[in-house]
């Protein structure tokens, strides 16, 4: 009898977390990137640095958080990644369809809204967003086997990622004023906003 084994990719923790953070950039940053491009100094070099630093900041923060979580459990990283993918898919739907910005006041409104009122905003058009940006990435995360490394390496990866991000940002201090000028609007468009 022939046994057919199911092929599953196997990744180390560093590559797995990096792919989740990169996937987050690819799937969920359309509103942030559109706003960043509209207020940047492009086509000047400083404009390119503003956009690049925005990508580095977003990647570095998410990767650092996921590396810290991986110290405790790879399953927890997958669970957090899945929760963020579904929440981000829902948030992306509302940001793109209803042109909403997710800030503290918006979260307060969501928490103070009753189910009947909020159900009026739901439409069947949310399903493709949930499937493509929430369910599919979740299935991929759970399908991949992750080779665990020693916890000290995972903690080191978190610290090194955060330090590398800070080092890059300190090499581009001209972007700090730009962040300061547009912080509230940039922050309301970053997904996952939970990490900020």
Q: Picking from 7-11, 62-66, 93-97, 180-184, which range would have the lowest pLDDT averaged per residue?
A: 180-184
3-state secondary structure of 120: coil
Q: List residues bridging with 170 in a β-sheet.
A: none
Distance CA 148, CA 93 (A): 34
3-state secondary structure of 6: coil
Residues 6+ apart with CB under 8 A from 188: 101, 102, 103, 106
Structural domain boundaries of the chain?
10-107+117-195
Across all residues in the chain, what is the average pLDDT?
A: 83
What pLDDT shows up at residue 110? 59
The length of the chain is: 196
Distance CA 164, CA 149 (A): 21
Residues 6+ apart with CB under 8 A from 191: 24, 28, 29, 31, 32, 88, 91, 92
Alpha helices in 11-102 (DSSP H): 13-28, 30-39, 45-72, 74-97
CB 89 within 8 A of CB 51: no
Nearest to 146 by CA among 6, 21, 10: 10
Phi, psi of 99 (to 5 degrees): 55, 45
User: pLDDT digit string (tens) for 127-142?
Assistant: 998 999 999 999 999 9
pTM score, whole prediction: 0.82
Name the one residue in this structure whose structure tokens are 């690049």.
52
- The structure tokens listed for 171 are 């090499």
User: pLDDT digit string (tens) for 6-32?
Assistant: 778 889 999 999 999 999 999 988 888
């Amino acid at each position: 009898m022939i046994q057919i084994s199911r092929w599953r990719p196997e990744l180390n923790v560093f590559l797995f977390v990096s792919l989740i953070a990169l996937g987050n950039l690819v799937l969920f940053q359309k509103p942030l990137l559109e706003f960043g491009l509209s207020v940047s100094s492009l086509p000047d070099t400083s404009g390119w640095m503003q956009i690049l630093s925005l990508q580095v900041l977003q990647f570095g923060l998410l990767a650092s958080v996921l590396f810290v979580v991986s110290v405790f459990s790879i399953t927890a990283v997958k669970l957090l990644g899945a929760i963020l993918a579904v929440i981000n898919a829902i948030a992306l739907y509302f940001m793109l369809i209803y042109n909403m910005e997710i800030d503290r006041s918006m979260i307060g409104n969501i928490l103070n809204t009753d189910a009947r009122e909020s159900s009026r905003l739901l439409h069947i058009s949310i399903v493709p967003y949930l499937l493509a940006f929430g369910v599919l990435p979740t299935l991929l995360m759970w399908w991949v086997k992750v080779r665990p490394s020693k916890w000290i390496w995972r903690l080191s990866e978190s610290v090194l990622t955060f330090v590398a991000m800070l080092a890059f940002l300190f090499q581009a201090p001209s972007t700090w004023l730009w962040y300061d000028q547009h912080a509230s609007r940039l922050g309301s468009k970053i997904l996952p906003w939970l990490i900020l």
